[in-house]
Structure 1
Amino acid sequence: MIENKQTIPNEGIQPARKKSKVRWVVIFLMWLAIAINYIDRTVLSAAAPYITEEFHLSAAQMGVIMSGFFWSYALLQIPAGWFADKYGQKKTLGFAVIWWSVATAVTGLATGFKSLLGFRVALGVGEAAAYPSNAGIASKWFPDKERATVSSIFDSGSKFGGAIAMPLIVWLIALVGWKATFVVIGLLGVIWGVIWFIYFKENPEDHKGVNEEELHYIRSGQSRKDGLSSAPAMKWYELLKYRNIWAMCLGFFVINYNSYFFITWLPSYLVEERGMNLIEMGFIASLPLLVAMVVEVIAGWTSDKVAASGKLSLTATRKLFLIIGLLMASCIGFAAFADSAVLAVVLLCIAKSGTTVAASQVWALPSDVAPKNMTSIVAGMQNTVSNMGGVVGPIITGFIVAATGSFVPALLFSAGLIILGIFNYLFLLGKVKPLDA
């Protein structure tokens, strides 16, 4: 006779818990910081006609004021990265956002050329810490297999901020005037800073909301654990001995040279070369940025999936997506010969999206290759050189257009640089792995 035995569950075994999602709240705050970053740097451009009239500034003076941001922004990338690695990304990014937000708010108190220039330089001082800090946070808070996804998400904030900044700021100026607009926009960052200091912790171990499952998921997926307890593996200038650092810097220079066309000369191109009116231009100019924002996140997520699958090595994955992105970006040259404005805009959307496909890998590379506790410094070095592309790109484009009377040669020159960028990543960039100290 067979007895029916009832299986009694073991009450001592607890069901497996789902891992918490604190790291995704962190990435949202990182994304928001970059979006605010780009909104704040755009306020002056939108308010320029009113400021020029009120203070009787010449076009040359206004140009100097606008460029003042890049003086401090580009020069302080490496010091900001060093500070973030040494003293922590929480302090660095938090104080940086509050600093640049206050600089934005007090711009409404400007009385003329000198004060406007001073506030603009101060804005660059604060904003210099944003990207290096975010790169360092990504290396601490996320496993390696989510690195490109995280990089693409926080960098996409720049496209969102750039796209909504102009209509938002123009509306605010019409509502409250240009001086109050600076104050209102500046308050956004101060509020962000308060939330950041309350919520964010330097390491996931220190955050009460991170359960054991999420912490294990993060730490077990990291090939290198960064922290404040250890000194950097080398002096920052010793990084210049490595070819991968040079390849990262030169490649990003080319990408940024092309990217800045879309936030400097694109409106003029659409009006002068394609015959659009101001209303059409205002809508169309935001399209490449909005499309690129979505494409960047998809590219980052896809590249992480490819790398995690093991079908391609990390090096092959990074290079594949960099090359795909740059090939898409070369469409800026084809746009010069497009028969219709619609086709030109489509090609420009592809081109801008290509720069963001590449950027999803560019901002993952510092975490991939940096020696221990040097991710923010490597990101700062890369961003220093890339912003030189942002400085000289608009100038070279302006000279070419002035000399030829057409945007066609300027767009072809941009496409030519893209080809050089492809060769840079193919041959100068070596194996993607942490640098040996």
Structure 2
Amino acid sequence: MQSRIEARDPPRGMAQAERATSVRWRIFGVVFLITLINLVDRISLSIAMPTIAKEFALSPAMQGLILSSFFWSYALLQIPGGWLIDRFGPRRVVAAATLLWGAFQTLLGVASGGLSMLLLRVGLGAAEAPLFPAGGKLNALWLSRHERARGAVLMDAGSPLGAAIGGLAISNLILVFGSWRMAFIVAGLVTVGCGWLAWHYLRDDPAKHPGVNATELEHISGGAVPLAKVAFGAADELPFPARSAVAMCVGRLSWAMIFFGLLTWGPSYLAQARGLSLQQIGTSTFFIFLSGALGSLSGGFLCDALAPAAWRVAK
């Protein structure tokens, strides 16, 4: 019996040469799902606003305040959110943030008027603020240098795809239940479930994930940054020139103006200026943001494909 067991045990050299597991991509599959749900919750109010405005008799000015209130706290808490990620790790922050914004999304379903809805949207923005910075840190911790563009777009593409699916999902939930309130509550409860998934599966350190084998860990450590070393360094330690950082910030700012403008005001424009029905609004937003998701994925995979050639040219 002992000889049979020993015969099945692979030699040490074979164990070291085993095929790498793919936990890092499953990690980003979870991040992609959470990002998608994030945008479903974010677009839900824009989709339902024409209906809510009639029920609460909201003026155009009040509608504008409610729709924009999300970004007040979302923008202000970006830097504090980054500090929390460095202090407690992305796993804890992503799980806690997802549970918290799921709670705010659920409570939106029982809002009693414009003021309570405005305050709950401020809370939703605060809770969602750390998600994308946490995704950036997970990218550095889990992926090699030549995989990071794909990791980044798996997260970024979740934004337009979430908006696309969210437009369809929320509009159809409102039609099925005959109530925007139930649509918000269902969306919020799904988000709470995603918070549990984040806590259960994400890890801050690949070496501490039970599914990662030695080969994948070696692959990751060849390009990933240890958790203790992910911090702001001196200017001469930056991996790219300051002008590149400025250019990326300007590009991101320009993207955000267009994307969040469409996300926030697009459904109201389609309803008021074009007279589209709720179902037509959901279908229109689906195709608008699906195009963005496909473009984001294509760009990320293309960057990873071109990066080695660009690296050789730079040398």
Q: What's the TM-score, normalizing by structure 1?
A: 0.62
Q: Relative to structure 2, which stretch is displaced further, 261-270 or 165-174? A: 261-270
Equivalent position of 1:104 in the other structure: 105
Identical counterparts, % of pairs:
33
Change (3 A) 1:205 1:148: same
The corresponding residue for 2:173 is 172
Matched, 1:134 2:135: yes
2:306 corresponding residue in structure 1: 306
2:256 paired with 1:256 = yes
Is the contact between residue 86 and residue 228 of structure 1 (CA under 8 Å) also seen in structure 2? no
- The alpha-carbon distance between structure 1 residues 36 and 306, as it changes in their structure 2 partners (threshold 3 A), is same
Identify the residue that residue 57 of structure 1 maps to in structure 2: 58
Shift of 1:257: 2.0
- Counterparts of 1:144 and 1:266, CA distance in 2: 37
Q: CA deviation at 1:88?
A: 0.5
Alignment partner, residue 77 of structure 1: 78
Cα displacement (A) at 1:54: 2.6
1:249: Cα distance to partner?
A: 1.8
Deviation, structure 1 residue 52: 2.1
* Partner Cα distance (1:219, 1:75) in 2: 34
**Residues 112-123 of structure 1 mapped to structure 2, 5 A cutoff:** 112-123=113-124
Pair 1:91 & 2:89 matched: no
d(CA) in 2 for partners of 1:61, 1:315: 54
Q: 1:227 aligned to 2:227?
A: yes
CA contact (8 A) 2:163 2:285 kept: no
Aligned CA distance change for structure 1 residues 188 and 299 (closer, same or farther; 3 Å): same
- Specify whether residues 202 and 271 from structure 1 end up closer, same or farther in structure 2 by C-alpha distance, changes over 3 A only: closer
Letter paired with 2:14: Q
Once residues 189 and 221 of structure 2 are traced to their aligned partners in structure 1, the CA distance between those partners, rounded to angstroms, is: 36
Q: Aligned to 1:212, which of 211, 214, 217?
A: 214
Does the aligned pair in 2 maintain the 1:85–1:228 contact within 8 Å?
no
Instruction: Give secondary structure in 2 for the equivalent of 1:233.
Output: coil
Corresponding residue number in structure 1 for 2:287: 287
Which deviates more, 55-64 or 184-193? Answer: 55-64
The match for 1:44 is 45
Partner of 1:201: 203
Would you say 1:67 and 2:94 are equivalent positions? Answer: no
Preserved CA contact (<8 Å) 1:93 1:133: yes
Q: 1:285: Cα distance to partner?
A: 4.0
In structure 1, how many angstroms separate the alpha carbons of the residues matched to 2:70 and 2:47? 15
Distance in 2 between residues matched to 1:108 and 1:256, nearest whole Å: 27
Contact 2:104–2:188 under 8 Å retained in 1: yes
Deviation at 1:46, TM superposition (A): 2.1
In 1, the alpha carbon distance for the partners of 2:311 and 2:101 equals 40
Could you list the per-position Cα deviations for residues 76-111 of structure 1 after superposition, in whole angstroms to 9, with x for gaps in the alignment? 111111211222001111111111110000111211
8 A Cα contact 2:94 2:130, kept in partner: yes
Q: What is the CA-CA distance between 1:290 and the residue it aligns to?
A: 1.3
> Structure 1 counterpart of 2:95, which letter?
G
Q: Deviations over 1:60-83 (max 9, x none)?
A: 112111111000011111111121
CA contact (8 A) 2:167 2:283 kept: no
Output the aligned Cα RMSD. Answer: 2.8
> Which ranges of structure 2 fall in alignment gaps of 5 or more residues?
1-9, 236-240
Contact 1:87–1:228 (8 Å) recurs in 2: no
Q: Which has the higher contact order (CA 8 A, sep 6+)?
A: 2
Q: Figure out how many residues of one structure are paired with residues of the other and give that number.
A: 297
**Further displaced range: 241-250 or 54-63:** 241-250
Does 2:147 align with 1:146?
Answer: yes
| Aligned partner (choices 178, 181, 184) of residue 182 of structure 1 | 184
Whole-Å Cα distance in 2 between the matches of residues 67 and 263 of structure 1? 11
**Using the alignment, how far apart are the partners of 2:275 and 2:181 within structure 1?**
30
Residue type at the aligned position of 1:143: S
Tell me what 2:4 maps to. none
Distance in 2 (alpha carbons) for counterparts of 1:269 and 1:216: 51
Which residue identity lines up with residue 34 of structure 1 in the other structure? Answer: T
Flag the structure with larger Rg.
Answer: 1
The separation in 2 between residues aligned to 1:70 and 1:291, in whole angstroms, is: 24
Cα deviations across residues 286-340 of structure 1 (Å, max 9, x unaligned)?
A: 32321331232222112112112xx213897xxxxxxxxxxxxxxxxxxxxxxxx
Question: CA-to-partner distance for each residue in 1:84-142, whole Å, 9 max, x for gaps?
Answer: 12220011111111111100001112112221111000000011111101000000011
CA spacing shift, 1:269–1:53, aligned 2, 3 Å: closer
Indicate how the Cα distance of structure 1 residues 262 and 63 shifts in structure 2: closer, same or farther if over 3 A, else same: closer
TM-score normalised to structure 2 length = 0.85
Distance 2:255 2:313 in 1: 19
